[in-house]
Amino acid sequence: MENNTTIFQDVTGAVNLPEMPMKSLAEQVVTIFLTLLICGVGIAGNVMVVLVVLRTKHMVTPTNCYLVSLAVADLIVLLAAGLPNISDVVACWIYGYTGCLFITYLQYLGINVSSCSITAFTIERYIAICHSIKAQFICTVSRAKRIIAGVWIFTSLYCTMWFFLVDIDETVYANGVVVNCGYRVSRSLYMPIYFLDFTVFYVVPLIVATVLYGLIARILFISPLPSDRAGGGSVHQGHYNSTSSANKGAIAARKQITKMLVVVVVLFALLWMPYRTLVVINSFIDPPYHDTWFILFCRMCIYSNSAINPIIYNLMSQKFRVAFRKLCKCGCRRGEAKYDAPIYCSVMKNLSHGSNEPVTEQEDVGGQFGNRFNITDHDKGTLKVS
């Protein structure tokens, strides 16, 4: 293990140790309060997302599988990046060399998997809406699970480089030694890695999301509804009206879930922008910009991005909202089945007649359609500023 120790010397070569810098009380209080608040809410919310999908059969849809992957990744970010920040602001690095390696690795893993999960459910929504025939064979739960497994394997292997890029750094002061988990080599040598991460896990996902959601919007909000096409006067007018109503409900449901996922993507872009921008700027200026309060703001934005998604699901998805309430009340699963199963089967039956759109999953219509069936559907791990 490489152990870097910094000792200050004056121009004569004699040891001249300064006093250990101490973080202000205001910084400590604000950091601890915000970190505990955001991480507490985020951990509870993401755990609930995982539980309601795994424990509720009708919630297991392709899109929800990607949301579970995103929730697990966000949990890793909150546990590996958020909570260690509390001890770091009060004292120094207390987790040792092994903790430095594995906590850094987990931070990058969670950040990059969350980005890949967002890209995956964006592509899945595009196929389900814009290529509905292909979606019958492509947008399945089994395929979603295989894609998620591939994402985690790829990202796990990609992030192993951080085992070789960080190390414990010790700085000796007159009144003690400060230990930090820092870079193994010069900061300038990390620039290619930072820009690779910035491109692959931030710029590319946002470009893909912008293009695909634009195409989805053209289909959902510009193209005429199938139920608006001619068909009146048939002897099967009653059946047509039923099918027309079902089609309108399915399309409205897809609009609702698309809006929810767009909000998730937009928040990802906005909350990661301060930190990503700071890293890019610091790559070209010397000395780098290390304002304490701005770095704290960047970190809180990152933690908030990992904590806010369950809140979005609760606000914009009736299916998740009901599932969260039942989980909190420890409701009986048998009662839940009586509530959901007949609705699901009846709407599936209605949509199976006279509609060219495949039904590959349940659509979540939010609060607009009450009881109809639903579909519900980061830059640097150690948060160092280069």
Lowest mean pLDDT across 125-129, 213-217, 279-283: 279-283
Q: How many percent of the chain have pLDDT more than 90?
A: 44
Cis peptide before 62 (omega within 30 of 0): no
pLDDT for res 85: 87
Q: pLDDT tens digits for 145-161?
A: 999 999 999 999 999 99
pLDDT at 87: 84
Question: Does the structure show a pLDDT above 70 at 275?
Answer: yes
Is pLDDT at 201 greater than 80 in this prediction?
yes
**Length reported for the chain:** 386
Distance CA 153, CA 210 (A): 26
Tell me: the pLDDT tens digits for 108-119? 999 999 999 999
Mean pLDDT, to the nearest integer, of 318-324?
Answer: 90
Q: Tell me what pLDDT residue 155 has.
A: 97
All structural domains of the chain:
19-168+189-227+236-351 (1.20.1070.10)
Residue holding tokens 């040598």? Answer: 189
Most confident of 56-65, 88-97, 347-356, 375-384: 56-65
User: For position 300, what pLDDT does the model report?
Assistant: 96
Q: What is the pLDDT of residue 378?
A: 37
Please give the distance of CA 261 from its chain centroid, rounded to a whole number: 11
pLDDT in tens, 346-386: 333 333 333 333 334 444 433 333 333 333 343 333 455 44
- Could you tell me the pLDDT band of residue 315, with boundaries at 50, 70 and 90? very high
pTM of the model: 0.78
CA 371 vs CA 64, 79, 158, 367: distances in Å? 19, 37, 44, 9
* Model pLDDT, residue 198: 92
pLDDT at 336 over 50: no
> How far apart, in whole angstroms, are the C-alpha atoms of residue 301 and residue 361?
33
Mean pLDDT, to the nearest integer, of 185-209? 88
Is the model's pLDDT at 316 over the cut of 60? yes
Band (pLDDT 50/70/90 cuts) for residue 4 is low
Residue 266 pLDDT grade (very low, low, confident, very high; cuts 50, 70, 90): very high
Average pLDDT, the chain: 79
Q: How far apart are CA 146 and CA 43, in angstroms?
A: 25
Least confident of 23-27, 75-79, 148-152: 23-27
pLDDT of residue 241: 54
What pLDDT was estimated at residue 15?
Answer: 54
Mark out the alpha helices in the chain (DSSP H runs).
25-55, 62-77, 84-90, 96-130, 132-138, 141-158, 191-198, 204-217, 237-282, 292-316, 318-328, 333-351
**Structure token pair of residue 46:** 């993401």
Question: In terms of C-beta density within 10 A (0-12 exposed, 13-18 middle, 19 or more buried), how is residue 257 classed?
Answer: buried
Q: How confident is the model at residue 283 (pLDDT cuts 50, 70, 90)?
A: confident
What is the residue type of 190? Y
pLDDT in tens, 158-184: 999 999 999 988 888 777 788 888 888
User: For residues 214 and 68, what is the distance between their CA atoms, to the nearest angstrom?
Assistant: 25
Of the two residues 280 and 49, the one the predictor is more confident about is 49
